[in-house]
Chain A
Amino acid sequence: MSVWNPDNITDVAESVGVGTLQKDVVEHLARDVEYRIGQVLEEALKFMRHGKRTTLGTQDISQALRVLDVEPLYGYESTRPLRFGEASIGPGQPLFYVEDEEVDFEKLINAPLPKVPREISFTAHWLAVEGVQPSIPQNPTSADQRHQELLPKGPGANPNLAAISGNDNVAVKPLVKHVLSKELQLYFERICAAILDETNDEYRAAAYASLRTDPGLHQLVPYFIQFVADKVTHNLKSLFTLTQMLQLVTALLDNPSLYIAPYVASIVPSVLTCLIGKHLGSPDRDGPTAHFALRDFAASLLASIARKHGQSSSTLKPRIARSCLKHFLDSHKPFGTHYGAILGLQGISGSAGIRTLILPNLKAYDLVLEQGIADDQKKEQAQVVVAALMRALESLEKDAVNVMNGHPEGNELKEKLVDTIGEVLGAKVFETGRSSLISAVLEKDTTV
């Protein structure tokens, strides 16, 4: 039956003086009333829609009534939703009514004026700049919009869009599942165990031999590299592990049947860590200078990588050189780092690199060296760095074109050397007394 209660019709009829209405008539009227209400609502919804609102208001109803040529209901004008009260007139017979506050006139007159509502105002901000939404307070954060479907999905969608919009941290699932055979998994586990076994040298040697020569390891390369990266990051205190990891990388690089080029970018960080890491190994256990051997190893490995793969990646060498130089120039880093950086630069860029990158900075570096030598604790380390620098300078000698036609003698020469490369190194170079070395160092003056 109709939702509208027919009793209401009877009540209204009685109130206007129609005493008896047949049941049929009442039902008919009830249906009609229901329909008319629907009609008014339908019309009111239009007004709501054009007011760009989502809540239907009393205003909408009166506008709708006006359009339908009905006198609007007065007295309900309010932007606030009406509150309905409920009263019970008997068991199961709730009565609903609009709550109408009683206002004390006296109070209303004497009450202070209510606050003036705030003026409508506008603010401007960039919702998007060149297709990217800037993260400013006026824009919603990515957490706010998670529930919204903002970007196209499916095969037709453009994968670049997500990256451009800055929410590219979507986990990308590889198209093909990487399947490793049982054998390979077992092999991988064994090799890793063997390499990390400090007690069994034979076992380890066999593992390296296998890595160096086995032709079928290509599937495992990413896993090994991941393994290296993992171990290096977590075992900075263990020189043994670090050395073994470098060994592992060497073995992989040596394997003629592996195509390593795509993985170079992920190998380099681990090797660099071993080269210029701040604190490698524990001085208590291994002795204060043990890490230099590791750095030597890493430097030579890095140099060989750069030599082999420098061509395939144009940015590889500059990137390594840049990070080495940065660490070399940072005087707060320990001598170990400086040592590694020097070796690295030498390995990467050879004598030309030393001439252009290290030589000009030696004067400034002298201060660090002097302080280091003066400090008892650091003296040993500083000496090693001096030796490394000397070696680097000596490498200059080899391919220096001796264009200088003689140079000053004695103290004057020493002064000049000190002026160029600093107190400590200047003295050292002077002591060697090799004229070719001296001229190679001083050549800078002429070239620059």
Chain B
Amino acid sequence: MAAPSSSVQRNNLLYRLHLEALNRINVSTAASESIRSQSPPFPPPVSSIRLPHRDAYLIPQVLEYLAKKGYSRTEAMLRRESAHQDAEGRPIITRAEDAGGDAYFKGYELLSRFVDNVLDIYEPELRRLLWPLFVYSFLTLAADYYPKDCSRFMQTYREPFEKEHQDDLRALSPITLPEHVQTNNIAQLYRNNKYRLTLTNMAFTTLVQYLEAHDREGGSVIVNLIHNNLNIVTVDRVAVGAERSLTKLLNQSRESDVPAEDEGIPGHNPGSANTDRNAPPVLAKLALGPMPMEPDLMEDVKAELQEHDAANPPAPGRNSLVEEFEQRIKREPTDDVPSRDTIPYPPSLARDVQMEVQKIKENRDRFKIEGRTGGVGPGVSVCMFTFHNTFDSINCLEFSGDNLLVAAGTSESYIRVWSLENKPLTSPLDAPNSQPCSSRRLIGHSGPVYALSFSPSVALPETTTTNGTSSNISNLTSSHPHYLISSSADGTIRLWSLATYTNLVVYRSHASPIWSLSFSPFGHYFLSGSADRTARLWSTSAISPLRLFVGHDADIEAVAWHPNSAYVFTGSGGADRSVRMWDLQRGTAVRLFTGHVGNITALSCAPNGKVVASADDRGEILLWDLAAGRLLKRLRGHAKGGIWSLDWSVESSVLVSGGADGTVRVWDVAAPEGKVGEGKVVAEGGSGTKVDGQGTAAAKKGKGKEVAVSADQISAFPTKKSPVYKVRFTQMNLVMAGGAYLP
């Protein structure tokens, strides 16, 4: 390639000389101009600039010749032109942009040097700039067809991001060609959106000044990148207050692998789901109170409770059931409850009355967990169900609400239901002389089963009924969950009857594997989250979805219901990693929470409706305040690998989690004393931080794997080599945990 183009160059020169000789007119150096153009559509003819060695002395010779012949203007012209070329005739690059792929190396190098040396107070903020600029430099290199530079860039600078952005790096690193940039999800996500980042005024000014002062060494490249791809929100440090106070920022620098709440691709104004930078700071108002009861149902329940009270008067000092019921109804003010009319439910049945009555009873009689008393958390009892001989084929586990059934979805596409009390599971369709068995297989899916959900049910003790003989059968029918739904990689959801253990309905609409599924707290509706990036709301009675919740930029990996069933939550993996809260009636997003650094693996909303907990596969649990739309706290302690399940105690004071590290952990939810924001700073900062910080820093240096356990953890119970797939608080505040023993 080199030879023909150099001859072009030489021909060009001769041609110019010829013109000069003939017309004595100036010719612009169009050829060299085109070489300099910034983003060539094809590989820049880098080698074409290089003249063969023997031509190195050509220019002085020509100049000499021109001077001798008296072509003074041409001589001056040639002198001017050759001043920008080095001895070998290559143009001397002064502007960094002209350096081709190298520009991004220079620019990035410049920036990271700046961030390393900048004042401590700006460093944590500015360090957050490195990741988006790394990604955008890399993607620009790939899109501009510098395949070698592109992979070299990745190799050179990826190391500092290995911890926080492991997944993104893995997804981005194979990209080398423009076509890849066009098709890769994550690349598209970054290129089509602006990365939002909040900087304080001073930090931003310092950055801009530095970049302008070092314009030539690559500053302009960075300025371009920032201008094109980043959405930098500048805030006044003083005005924002404690959230960006110096202490907070300095604390953050220690855990610098954690993005701020409003940072990232779905960057947003904290709390609001509105990603617009100029969005009004008004949050959509939420009705987080419990769903009011149907009046008929309420009457029935009250009557039933009165009967119970008459039959078994309460022990002295205890509330009667009716009083308990009244308290429960009256507890909430009326302004924040959702309207019953907006979400239609089928009329209540005798079964619902019985369930409500039992709930009231349990509410009175249960072991109450009131948070940390006397400095120590409550002692929680955990009953562990370990599955053997699974050969890692169990994908998910689910316990029924009446604590009588457990279902497992397997990678062999079938579902298996066991009776926890080892009672035979019979169906009226059984052959008359078939052997009763305590487990049944539900076969129908054509792909691994990823999620299961039982329709709601409540454990009814068998002694509740007055007439002893026929009670058994009526109890079974009334307290058993009626349905089980399952979702699979084949993109279908199936509804199974638990009376006959047969498939009743197949719901088809999702185009991709369905990762997550959940029944509404009142039954009838259910929600599914799929790899097609949508969550869909279904009613058991219709075969097409009622709502589509669209907005996530990656797979929806976890779904959950708000306890009043007026809202749902979705959590996503991939590059999105946000938790969104949707209004069920309107189908719009009402809250958006970002801050996770791993794929979200579990979601759960507190029974009091005020806090949602989300867990990721890096072993962090984040608690979000729904009304304010802000992060409450981070709970750390689980090892890497996924927290598969979360659940709340009935009082919403204790959270329990189980994960791939084979532990069940119990967390104290109650925020530290005082205001949330300040309390957090006290907990993390204050006088004790210095020691702590050094300790953790040393630990980090020593062993990279060590996880710092946050002080909110009440206890941790390891299992014997059994990852915990499911944890569940029963209505009586006992924890049931399920896992598979994997020797």
Residues of A participating in the B interface, judged by any CB pair closer than 8 Å = 1-2, 28, 31-32, 34-35, 37-39, 42, 46-47, 49-55, 59, 63, 67, 79, 117-133, 138-140, 144-145, 148-158, 160-161, 164-165
Q: Is the CB of B173 within 8 A of A38?
A: yes
- In residues 713-743 of chain B, which contact A (Cβ within 8 Å)? 713-720, 723, 725, 735, 737-738
A161 and B184 in contact (CB under 8 A), knowing A59-B448, A144-B718?
Answer: no
Q: Is the CB of A42 within 8 A of B709?
A: no
Q: Is the CB of B418 within 8 A of A122?
A: yes
22 contacts between A and B (CB under 8 A): A38-B173, A52-B642, A52-B644, A52-B725, A63-B513, A117-B389, A120-B416, A121-B388, A122-B406, A123-B386, A124-B385, A125-B386, A127-B382, A128-B379, A139-B719, A148-B663, A149-B637, A149-B708, A151-B716, A153-B708, A157-B711, A161-B376
Chain B residues near A55: list those with CB within 8 A: 392
Chain A residues near B714: list those with CB within 8 A: 131, 161
Chain B residues near A31: list those with CB within 8 A: 147, 176-177
Q: Is the CB of B448 within 8 A of A152?
A: no
**Docked complex Cα distance between A446 and B719 (Å):** 63
- With A37-B174, A52-B644, A152-B710 known, 5 other A-B pairs at CB within 8 A are A32-B177, A42-B171, A128-B664, A155-B692, A161-B715
Q: Is the CB of B381 within 8 A of A123?
A: no
Chain A residues near B385: list those with CB within 8 A: 122-124
**Docked complex Cα distance between A61 and B177 (Å):** 24
- In residues 373-390 of chain B, which contact A (Cβ within 8 Å)? 375-390
Q: Which residue among A32, A34, A120, A125 has the maximum number of chain B CB atoms within 10 Å of its CB? A: A120
B460 within 8 A of A: no
**Docked complex Cα distance between A125 and B717 (Å):** 13
Q: Is the CB of B555 within 8 A of A130?
A: no
**Docked complex Cα distance between A139 and B642 (Å):** 21
B276 within 8 A of A: no
Per a CB cutoff under 8 Å, which of A53, A121, A139, A164 touches B720?
Answer: A139
Closest to A53 in B: B392
Chain A residues near B737: list those with CB within 8 A: 127
Q: Is the CB of A148 within 8 A of B384?
A: no
**Docked complex Cα distance between A3 and B201 (Å):** 45
**Docked complex Cα distance between A53 and B641 (Å):** 9
Q: Is the CB of B388 within 8 A of A127?
A: no
Closest to B689 in A: A155
Q: Which residue among A31, A32, A127 has the maximum number of chain B CB atoms within 10 Å of its CB? A: A127
**Docked complex Cα distance between A46 and B170 (Å):** 13
Residues of B participating in the A interface, judged by any CB pair closer than 8 Å = 147-148, 170-171, 173-177, 179-180, 184, 375-396, 406, 408, 411, 416, 418, 420, 447-448, 450, 489, 512-513, 515, 531, 555, 557, 573, 599, 601, 617, 637, 639, 641-642, 644, 660-661, 663-664, 666, 683, 688, 691-692, 695-696, 706-720, 723, 725, 735, 737-738
B581 to chain A, nearest CB (A): 23
Chain A residues near B447: list those with CB within 8 A: 63
A126 and B713 in contact (CB under 8 A), knowing A32-B177, A138-B386, A149-B707?
Answer: no
A39 and B395 in contact (CB under 8 A), knowing A54-B641, A63-B447, A120-B387?
Answer: no
Chain A residues near B513: list those with CB within 8 A: 47, 50, 63, 67
B253 to chain A, nearest CB (A): 17
Chain A residues near B416: list those with CB within 8 A: 120
Q: Is the CB of B711 within 8 A of A156?
A: yes
Chain B residues near A2: list those with CB within 8 A: 176
Chain A residues near B174: list those with CB within 8 A: 34-35, 37-39
Q: Is the CB of A149 within 8 A of B709?
A: yes
Q: Is the CB of B709 within 8 A of A32?
A: no
**Docked complex Cα distance between A28 and B696 (Å):** 46
A48 to chain B, nearest CB (A): 10
Q: Is the CB of B599 within 8 A of A49?
A: yes
**Docked complex Cα distance between A34 and B448 (Å):** 28
Q: Is the CB of A158 within 8 A of B395?
A: no
Chain A residues near B531: list those with CB within 8 A: 46, 67
A286 to chain B, nearest CB (A): 53
Closest to A132 in B: B379
**Docked complex Cα distance between A144 and B663 (Å):** 13
B347 to chain A, nearest CB (A): 37
Chain B residues near A46: list those with CB within 8 A: 531, 555, 573
Q: Is the CB of B663 within 8 A of A150?
A: yes
Closest to B180 in A: A35
Chain A residues near B708: list those with CB within 8 A: 149, 153-154
Chain B residues near A139: list those with CB within 8 A: 717-720
**Docked complex Cα distance between A126 and B664 (Å):** 12
6 closest Cβ pairs, A-B complex: A131-B379, A38-B174, A130-B379, A156-B711, A155-B688, A127-B384
Chain B residues near A53: list those with CB within 8 A: 392
Q: Is the CB of B177 within 8 A of A52?
A: no
Closest to B148 in A: A1
Q: Is the CB of B719 within 8 A of A127?
A: yes
**Docked complex Cα distance between A445 and B418 (Å):** 69
B452 to chain A, nearest CB (A): 13
Chain B residues near A118: list those with CB within 8 A: 388-389
Q: Is the CB of A154 within 8 A of B711?
A: yes
Chain B residues near A157: list those with CB within 8 A: 709, 711
**Docked complex Cα distance between A122 and B420 (Å):** 9
Closest to B389 in A: A118
Per a CB cutoff under 8 Å, which of A133, A145, A155 touches B691?
Answer: A155
**Docked complex Cα distance between A157 and B664 (Å):** 19
A198 to chain B, nearest CB (A): 52
Q: Is the CB of A120 within 8 A of B688?
A: no
**Docked complex Cα distance between A144 and B662 (Å):** 12
Q: Is the CB of A128 within 8 A of B711?
A: no
**Docked complex Cα distance between A56 and B376 (Å):** 42
Closest to B379 in A: A131
Closest to A145 in B: B718
Chain A residues near B692: list those with CB within 8 A: 154-156
Per a CB cutoff under 8 Å, which of A120, A125, A128, A148 touches B389?
Answer: A120
A227 to chain B, nearest CB (A): 35
Closest to A27 in B: B147
**Docked complex Cα distance between A53 and B723 (Å):** 10
A137 to chain B, nearest CB (A): 9
Q: Which residue among B386, B664, B717 has the maximum number of chain A CB atoms within 10 Å of its CB? A: B717
**Docked complex Cα distance between A156 and B349 (Å):** 51
Q: Is the CB of A164 within 8 A of B715?
A: yes
Closest to B179 in A: A32
Q: Is the CB of A39 within 8 A of B184?
A: yes
**Docked complex Cα distance between A37 and B718 (Å):** 37
A33 to chain B, nearest CB (A): 10
Q: Is the CB of A152 within 8 A of B382?
A: no
B534 to chain A, nearest CB (A): 15
Chain A residues near B709: list those with CB within 8 A: 149-153, 157
